[in-house]
Chains A and B, each alone.
Chain A
Amino acid sequence: MTAALWALGGQGRYVWPAVGVMLALLAIEWIALGRRHRAALCEAALARDDGEGGA
């Protein structure tokens, strides 16, 4: 079964890129959002230091 899973009757070369790219895109989205979050916090800190904004 394992061998069949990897080869998938020769169609593995379609199935695995499909699933793989999908998972990669979702992971990239997740990581990018994490970085954006940290960047937003830094921006907020900088803005505060610059004296922008109020309560």
Chain B
Amino acid sequence: MSSLSLPPPLTWRYASPHAFYPLAGRIAGIAGQLAVALIAAGLYVGFVVAPTDAQQGEAYRILYVHVPAAWMAMVIYLAMAFWGGVGLVLNARLSFMMMQALAPTGALHALVCLWTGALWGRPTWGTWWVWDARLTSVLILLFLYVGFIALQSSIDDARRADRAGAVIALVGAVNVPIIYFSVQWWNTLHQGASISLRSAPTLAAPMLLGLGLCALGFWALAIAAVLKRLRCIVLERERGAEWVARLAGVTA
């Protein structure tokens, strides 16, 4: 059948792990370099160029890493749920592998957000932990990530692990807005807790620039790390395939 010799159309060409592997490598390489440049620039602007805040002193500079980490933790979870959904609908292995690759990076960003949040809270408000809406939501998000990773690692059958993970990721994604709303509600109703990391300084232009640069840098870094992990997962799961053997330097 001559139709088999035509390459698949562009939309589907990269749906196979084999085809996507080299492309992922190239993207990861570029993204990694971009990440280093952007984060370096962002930290420079944030620490050297931006002025000291009148109220919070120098400690506010932590927000340059705290806020992008929080954004990434949330965005990565949504991406995870998205690829899980795509995988369930299209029954595509690569989508599930992408979902698997996203989780540890997302959890790491959530952890960084919590760590930096604690270090921001201490000099500013005097305590190591502040039960404000964002930190609490990120804490619950971290638990969602951990649950996902635990579920995936406790199922031996790859197919069942993929699909179960996709279901929990989607259920979690539907819950995230509800959880965020309820945590906001909880936070504003408890009158005593007028502390909020949201009452960050109103941002002047160089601060915004630093924050933007750091945010873009974190995006690039996340893309690079996730694609790098995806390549590892592809190699591990496609272990018996011919192309992997060739890559590993072993001929048939």
**A contacts, CB < 8 Å to B:** 1, 5, 8-9, 11-12, 14-15, 17-19, 21-22, 25-26, 29-30, 33-34, 36-37, 40-45, 47-49, 52-55
Chain B interface, DSSP helix/strand/loop, else mixed: helix
Task: Kindly count the residue-residue contacts between A and B in the assembled complex, taking CB atoms under 8 Å apart.
Answer: 110
| Identity of the chain B residue whose Cβ is nearest the Cβ of A51 in the assembled complex | B240
**Interface residue from B48, B221, B231, B249 paired with A5 (Cβ < 8 Å):** B48
Apart from A19-B65, A44-B239, 6 more pairs, CB < 8 Å: A14-B120, A21-B112, A41-B247, A44-B245, A48-B248, A53-B245
In the docked arrangement, what's the CA distance between A37 and B229, Å?
8
Judged by a CB distance under 8 angstroms, whether B235 is at the interface is yes
Indicate whether A1 sits within 8 Å of B62 (C-beta atoms), given known contacts A22-B112, A33-B232, A36-B232: no
Residues on B facing A (Cβ under 8 Å): 32, 43, 47-48, 52, 57-59, 61-62, 65-66, 69, 104-105, 108, 111-112, 115-116, 119-120, 122-123, 221, 224-225, 228-229, 231-232, 235-236, 239-242, 244-245, 247-250
Question: Could you say which residues of chain B place their CB within 8 Å of the CB of A21?
Answer: 112, 115
